[in-house]
């Protein structure tokens, strides 16, 4: 079985080379080095007494980030998830404080945090640094020694909506002086960070803002892997060093809770593919690691953990800085950014941002023209981007209507979260559910408003067939013309009352308990779906794993010429069942209570509602109608 294993030799060290393997050499100090670090605007006086442990932390974070950028994972089409995607990385790193970094508390905290953050396997061997370089080479000292500045808070400032909102709130509402630590990852982002910092100085006072834009650059041959899962470790290390130089024991990372908690909304976004940069477990790992390295408590906090993106955008507006929204950047595809379109409009961050902007009524401050693809009307070709956008809306629609029990049953990832908060598990669970329901309600409200405003174009077929509005509306009709995702996402369902049916093959009918019977085409349709349902029951599968019957197979089984004919038959079947139920109970079941359909996958009998039993087990003894109570005559027995 193939693996993605590499030995990473740092700081000019050499080591054994396995046959057929390629070692990666990273050097911060050599000539020429291939990992470069520069921290400007920190006074020389503050750097004079920087502890060796902090310098080691900077170098370790740089080496890990460089290796993360240089060693490729499997690409988006990689089917070997868990093999080529997840890498086995062995580092050999020279340090000044060998005793500290080799100690069990520090080493275990480092490896465990990195492993969860990027879902790679890490092995780190520390060696004593033989030639200790001058620390001053890391710093670009200001021409005027601004040694009097002492921030109240150190904030990691990316130039995105969330970090701007947090900074504005700390300054406008709480009157804080802040040091903004930025990772200058690209010239396109650097100019944004610098402009926003300048605007904050002009609005709140130059003596209340210090911007520390840190350069960590790699030689061109190293920056090939674009996922950068360890970027937040580098970011946190830069922030922690800056905070300690100013005598602070805390850094703040502002990120909305939906992104931080990282509940995947699409099958492709699992494990390391869904970012964990501010996940509560990661922040707890940072606190543990930094506390052990510094030998004193150090806090890494996300004050926005219980806010949605839309609520964060609203806070920018409430604090009088809505005009700065257009200058923030959220897009992950930095290389595609242009002056006309600073946002691609296709990545998950762009989709999430656009929904939040519209929900907070800030559309005029972030016009749709800034996006390469319009949220609702822009074309989304087949592929992962289209799949992600559909899953985003579908997930919100599901969460908006399910119960808390169904939510936690579907999102098992929540079990990783509750232990990293001081509140009780029940309180944390309640807040998680409330957060996601608020987010879902926001997305649904914005999408429903878009349907209303584009109703004539939808009805007349004037919208592109692959725009988000058309795609979502067509999938609700049972369409199956879109590409299959890499895995079947489980359906979060709200179980209702059990519906018992019997398949009577001798009379070619399907009998519903208390409701009556189906014959003809509708009965054939239910019978075709019953066989894989029965097999799943025999195999003792969980309801979410019951298989769907592909549309093509169902077409053949039911002798349909095309998908449109099949959809009409399914609708007629659902309507007939609803009429039977309404006559018997007065309340028809929901359309998917009997037959579920999932885009790209087909149809199945609803495993949470349907129970197939023998005819004799039905309350009417096989007729499908309830027997009259004792002492009362049935209609046929009355005179």
Would the pLDDT of 278 be above 80?
Answer: yes
Q: What is the mean pLDDT of the chain?
A: 85
Percentage with pLDDT > 90 across the chain: 55
Question: What is the mean pLDDT of the segment spanning 96-110?
Answer: 96
Question: What is the mean pLDDT of the segment spanning 172-196?
Answer: 90
Would the pLDDT of 500 be above 90?
Answer: yes
Distance CA 180, CA 157 (A): 5
* The two three-digit tokens of residue 332, written as one number: 């992950």
Distance CA 409, CA 396 (A): 16
How many CB atoms are located within 10 Å of the residue 498 CB? 10
pLDDT class of 624 with cuts at 50, 70, 90: low
pLDDT value, residue 490: 42
Identify the bridge partners of residue 140 per DSSP, sorted by sequence position. 40
Question: What is the mean pLDDT of the segment spanning 348-373?
Answer: 95
Would the pLDDT of 133 be above 90?
Answer: no
Question: What is the mean pLDDT of the segment spanning 58-74?
Answer: 88
Nearest to 181 by CA among 349, 285, 337, 41: 41
Would the pLDDT of 225 be above 80?
Answer: no
**Hey, is 639 helix, strand or coil?**
coil
Distance CA 189, CA 354 (A): 19
- Of residues 488 and 514, more confidence is placed in 514
Would the pLDDT of 370 be above 80?
Answer: yes
Distance CA 260, CA 283 (A): 10
Handedness of CA 285, 114, 90, 186 (dihedral sign): negative
**Phi, psi angles (nearest 5°) of residue 505:** -70, -30
- Check if the beta carbon of residue 155 is closer than 8 Å to that of residue 243: no
pLDDT class of 143 with cuts at 50, 70, 90: low
pLDDT class of 265 with cuts at 50, 70, 90: low
- Check if the beta carbon of residue 252 is closer than 8 Å to that of residue 156: yes
**Statement: the pTM of the whole predicted model exceeds 0.75:** no
Domains of the chain plus CATH, in order, are 4-140 (no CATH), 331-494 (no CATH), 499-617 (1.10.10.10)
pLDDT value, residue 590: 82
pLDDT value, residue 202: 97
- Please count the CA atoms within 13 angstroms of the CA of 231 that sit on its side-chain side: 22
Would the pLDDT of 620 be above 70?
Answer: no
Would the pLDDT of 579 be above 50?
Answer: yes
Question: What is the mean pLDDT of the segment spanning 586-612?
Answer: 83
* 3-state secondary structure labels for all residues of 414-462: HHHCHHHCCCCHHHHHHHHHHHHHHHHHHHHHHHHHHHHHCHHHHHCCC
Question: What is the mean pLDDT of the segment spanning 204-226?
Answer: 81
**Phi, psi angles (nearest 5°) of residue 605:** -75, 140
What proportions of the chain, in percent to the nearest 5, are helix, strand and coil? Answer: 45, 15, 40
Would the pLDDT of 147 be above 60?
Answer: no
């Amino acid at each position: 079985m193939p693996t993605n294993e590499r030995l990473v030799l740092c700081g000019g060290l050499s080591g054994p080379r396995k046959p057929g393997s390629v070692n990666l050499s990273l050097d911060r100090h050599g000539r020429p080095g291939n990992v470069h670090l520069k921290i400007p605007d920190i006074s020389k006086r503050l750097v004079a007494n920087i502890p060796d442990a902090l310098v080691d932390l900077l170098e370790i974070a740089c080496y890990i980030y460089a290796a993360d950028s240089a060693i490729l994972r499997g690409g988006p089409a990689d089917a070997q998830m868990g093999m080529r995607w997840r890498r086995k990385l062995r580092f050999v790193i020279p340090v000044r404080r060998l005793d500290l970094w080799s100690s069990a508390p520090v080493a275990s905290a480092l490896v465990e945090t990195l492993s969860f953050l990027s879902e790679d396997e890490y092995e780190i061997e520390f060696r004593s640094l033989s030639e200790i370089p001058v620390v001053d080479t890391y710093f670009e000292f200001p021409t005027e020694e601004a040694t009097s500045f002492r921030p109240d808070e150190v904030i990691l400032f990316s130039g995105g909506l969330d970090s701007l909102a947090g900074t504005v709130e700390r300054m406008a509402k709480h009157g804080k002086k802040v040091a903004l630590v930025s990772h200058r990852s690209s010239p396109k982002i650097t100019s944004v960070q610098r402009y926003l910092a300048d605007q904050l100085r002009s609005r709140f006072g130059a003596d209340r803002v210090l911007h520390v834009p840190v350069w960590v650059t790699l030689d061109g041959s190293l920056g090939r892997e674009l996922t950068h899962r360890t970027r937040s470790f580098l970011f946190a290390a830069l922030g922690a060093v800056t905070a300690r130089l100013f005598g602070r024991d805390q850094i703040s990372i502002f990120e909305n809770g939906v992104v931080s908690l990282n509940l995947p909304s699409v099958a492709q976004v699992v494990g390391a593919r869904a970012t964990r940069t501010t996940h509560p477990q990661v922040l707890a790992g940072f606190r543990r690691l930094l506390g052990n390295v510094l030998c004193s408590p150090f806090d890494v906090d996300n004050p926005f953990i219980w806010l949605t993106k839309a609520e964060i955008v609203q806070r920018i507006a409430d604090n009088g800085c809505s005009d700065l929204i257009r200058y923030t950047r959220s897009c992950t595809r930095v290389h595609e950014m242009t002056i006309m379109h600073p946002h691609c409009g296709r990545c998950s961050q762009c989709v999430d941002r656009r929904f939040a902007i519209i929900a907070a009524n800030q559309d005029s401050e972030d016009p749709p023209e800034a996006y390469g693809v319009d949220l609702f009307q822009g074309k989304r070709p087949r592929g992962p981007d289209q799949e992600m956008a559909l899953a985003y809306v579908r997930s919100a629609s599901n969460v908006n209507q399910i119960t808390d029990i169904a939510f936690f049953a579907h999102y098992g990832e929540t079990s990783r979260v509750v232990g990293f908060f001081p509140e009780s598990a029940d309180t944390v669970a309640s807040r998680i559910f409330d957060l996601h329901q608020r987010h879902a309600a926001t997305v649904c409200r914005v999408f429903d408003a878009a349907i209303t405003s584009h109703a004539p174009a939808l009805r007349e077929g004037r919208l592109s067939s692959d725009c988000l509005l058309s795609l979502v509306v067509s999938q609700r009709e049972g369409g199956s013309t879109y590409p299959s995702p890499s895995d079947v996402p489980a359906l979060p369902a709200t179980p209702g009352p059990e519906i018992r049916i019997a398949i009577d093959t001798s009379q070619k009918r399907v009998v519903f308990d208390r409701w009556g019977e189906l014959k003809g085409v509708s009965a054939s349709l239910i019978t075709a779906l019953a066989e894989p349902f029965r097999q799943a029951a025999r195999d003792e599968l969980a309801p979410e794993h019951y298989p769907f019957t592909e549309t093509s197979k169902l077409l053949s089984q039911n002798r349909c010429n095309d998908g449109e004919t099949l959809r009409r038959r399914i609708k007629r079947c659902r309507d007939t069942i609803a009429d039977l139920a309404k006559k018997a109970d007065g309340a028809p079941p929901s359309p998917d209570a009997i037959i579920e359909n999932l885009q790209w996958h087909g149809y199945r009998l609803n495993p949470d509602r349907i129970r197939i039993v023998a005819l004799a087990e039905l309350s009417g003894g096989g007729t499908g109608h309830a027997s009259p109570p004792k002492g009362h005559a049935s209609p046929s027995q009355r005179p």
